[in-house]
Structure 1
């Protein structure tokens, strides 16, 4: 079937497969987890608020469990990975925050960079030895206005700009995917690293910017006039997690400037194609988190 008309109804039978979805207690993560469970997967909702996650999952059809994970705490990330036993077919790095007021993670990183990139970087590498199929990382069209300022990734020297920071984190997601795929290939692994973006989806992500004006423009006017449903917004992630696409592929909507529509493999900004920046970001991320590549080069 052409990906241009692909929907969640086209998901394959996922019985026997285990899939982790971070940030699955609301929005696109909840829809992603629900549809994967409906298709037969055992879905693990990795969430900050376990009670909220359970409340969401209790409405699912299929197999699920909820585990605590706070991506803004490396201790929490390590605890989640330490508690994991057995194989993991797909890891979906979905959780994220967008254009929030300036803050810091438990480890002192800028909050958006620490949550959207560094937390997932650490989680992925700590679990990588158990992943059997692929890692899907959710980016955004906002990567197109992101810039990598390697001398100040945590925004300690510059005037804080929440949207520029967000763009940097979403660009980081794509550079991470590129370098992860390069390392997987070099290690002889059949695991794939891919990315997806939802376009403009009607979720609660726009509710936490801390700006009344932005809330009105995005949550009210933007969501009502431009956004597609969260069910449609989850399709690129579902497609990336289950369909036969190459490593380092990027999936997004096929309509109106990639803001809405059915999933297909899409392009990315020139800045997201820099292999040099991808390697440099990886090295910095290892230094900041203390987590190294999760496979040896001898992996089969």
Structure 2
């Protein structure tokens, strides 16, 4: 499916997005508009983005499409940006978590769209459980039964993005909390320096005195002494301090671009630049 549509994967990326809102043009955007939009010479950029996204909804639901739907339906639809944060592309072992949602608990969502294979799924799930205790695979309706068979008897959940781009209430497998595979090292590697320093200082009252070469290892040595579930709970509190987004700002961003804007760590100027870009006519 969609071999000729692979170019769409390049549009909804941070690199292209930054160039669009800062420079108001980009070769990738221009190529895609001319291929997928009609009467593009008369339309504003915002209208063209919407038209392209609508095509994706019907014919090419790629990883960005799934990720953006999760952000809109779960973070912005069910939760609050004041109490819940999302993370993306977090390295865990040999894998990268597509989407992590953290509120009272943390859930790793692994996206398996119609365009993906399940070849690495087992490895990815094993990696995720080393750093987080809830894992859910997000897939399409067509993949549900196959995935249900693969994940039968495991704590891994399944949620389905329906053909109407909603999250199904019936086609699903509930997640089960699994703390048995949590590892200090995997959790520690998810944390930024300031985050693991805050945990160590809180519990030990001090940071290690070591040269720069050995400082990281000394910090990990102290972190590894903390009981695993306590270390995990404290790490989630630190992670929740990332990605502070103002609801009144993100609400004004078009649905199609919310994920890109959320994960770009936007400044007030970025929001202004985006608004200007969306209102400008296409310059092809």
Q: Please, what TM-score do these two structures have when normalized by structure 1? A: 0.28
Largest Rg, 1 or 2: 2
> TM-score, normalised on structure 2?
0.29
Pick the structure with more helix per residue: 2
Between 1 and 2, higher relative CO (CA 8 Å, sep ≥ 6) is seen in 2
